[in-house]
Amino acid sequence: MAEVTVVGDGIVDIISRGDADGTRHAGGSALNVATGLTILGRTTGLIYQSGADEPGEWLVEYLEQSGVRPIRLLDDRGTGTAHAYFRTADGEPTYSFNEALLNREYVFDSTASQAIRQAKAVVVSGFPLDHEQSVDAYLQELDRSDGLGVIDPNPRPAILNDVEKYRIGFERVARGSRIVKLSDEDLITLYGDDQLVAALVDSGIVVVVTHGRRGASVHLPGQPPLHAPARELAQPMVDTLGAGDATLAALIAGVLDSASLTDRTIWEYSLARAMEIAAWTCRSAGGTLQLPKNELSEPHLERKS
């Protein structure tokens, strides 16, 4: 049984810099979180969609070599692909997506259902929250689980089919979750401001907000917010892919065994460590979580390159 089950995108990222040909990486926010948790020593399974094609088989092999249990839901349309184009040196890409990624639908089989029910934490990220039937299916599975529910809506404007439906789907899943992770950009995309944070916290949910170069904050019910600045490193930034996913993975790994989800001391430590891990992730190409270089290897780190 995996400690954490992650649900959402496991895709192929093609990364192009300038006019150079693209290089292939395993990607998707859910996959990044799952591999990150494994690097941090947590047993993890990933429920995702892919085709029975060469890219899909490559993803299965990648996940198995990374120590993540792949729980694949086969998609006749093939494996989702995102092409990231870095045209400038500021680390921010533009994207294009294939049809399998643009029109995702989830139907959970018995293997996926069991993985959700048995996990200590269930994390959803990179999920089609604007597809009502997929949201219904996920919530039915989550209702059968006693695990810690976590959601990162991760709305990418280029693949948002309906912002209003996405917002409704996110709010439905958030109500069944204990931790919500958002970025400043997520809040603007879905709501136009950050007023939602207070409403979620008032309802008893822990809310994590990432602020890009300004770090991240944790909002605990009944307590003042915590804030940690982004970690400055001497090494040059390569790209920002996976920084938010690395942050979420580090936070989940840090609080998973906590007796109280509102223990401020644990969150302070976990948030500071998450900022350091996110900074090192930005010093490596692709979205795979990177540990600080001065640390000894943790379980499965040797499988990453």
291 within a domain of the structure (yes/no) = no
Query: Would you state the pLDDT for residue 299?
Result: 40
Query: Would you state the pLDDT for residue 91?
Result: 58
Vertex 213 angle, CA 220 and 10, to 5°: 75
Read off the pLDDT of residues 159-186 as tens digits, 9 standing for 90 and up.
888 999 999 999 999 999 999 999 999 9
Query: Would you state the pLDDT for residue 126?
Result: 94
Query: Would you state the pLDDT for residue 153?
Result: 97
Query: Would you state the pLDDT for residue 92?
Result: 67
Q: How far is CA 182 from the centre of its chain?
A: 10
20 within a domain of the structure (yes/no) = no
88 within a domain of the structure (yes/no) = no
Query: Would you state the pLDDT for residue 172?
Result: 98
**Which two tokens mark 38?**
């494994």
127 within a domain of the structure (yes/no) = yes
Do residues 217 and 184 touch, judged by C-beta distance below 8 A?
no
Output the CA–CA distances (angstroms, integers) from residue 231 to 126, 275, 280, in the order listed: 26, 6, 9
Number of domains in the chain: 1
Query: Would you state the pLDDT for residue 88?
Result: 63
Full strand arrangement of the beta sheet holding 4-8:
69-74, 44-50, 4-8, 121-125, 148-152, 179-183, 206-210, 216-219, 226-228
Question: pLDDT below 70 — which residues of the chain?
Answer: 19-20, 88-92, 296-305
97 within a domain of the structure (yes/no) = no
What does the alpha-carbon distance between residue 12 and residue 58 come to, in Å, rounded to a whole number?
Answer: 9
257 within a domain of the structure (yes/no) = yes
Query: Would you state the pLDDT for residue 170?
Result: 98
CATH code at 208? 3.40.1190.20
Per-position DSSP letters for the chain, written without gaps between them = --SEEEEE--EEEEEEETTSPPEEEEE-HHHHHHHHHHHTT--EEEEEEE-SSHHHHHHHHHHHHHT-EEEEEE-TT---EEEEEE-SSSS--EEEE-HHHHT------HHHHHHHHH-SEEEEES--TT-HHHHHHHHHHHHT--SEEEEE----GGG-S-HHHHHHHHHHHHHT-SEEEEEHHHHHHHHSSSHHHHHHHHTT-EEEEE-GGG-EEEE-TTSPPEEEPPPP-SSPP---TTHHHHHHHHHHHHHTT-S-TT-HHHHHHHHHHHHHHHHHHTTSSSS-----TTSPPPTTGGG--
Contacts of 214 (CB under 8 A, 6+ apart): 229, 230
Query: Would you state the pLDDT for residue 74?
Result: 95
Do residues 37 and 31 touch, judged by C-beta distance below 8 A?
no
133 within a domain of the structure (yes/no) = yes
146 within a domain of the structure (yes/no) = yes
Domain that holds residue 53: 4-11+31-72+106-282
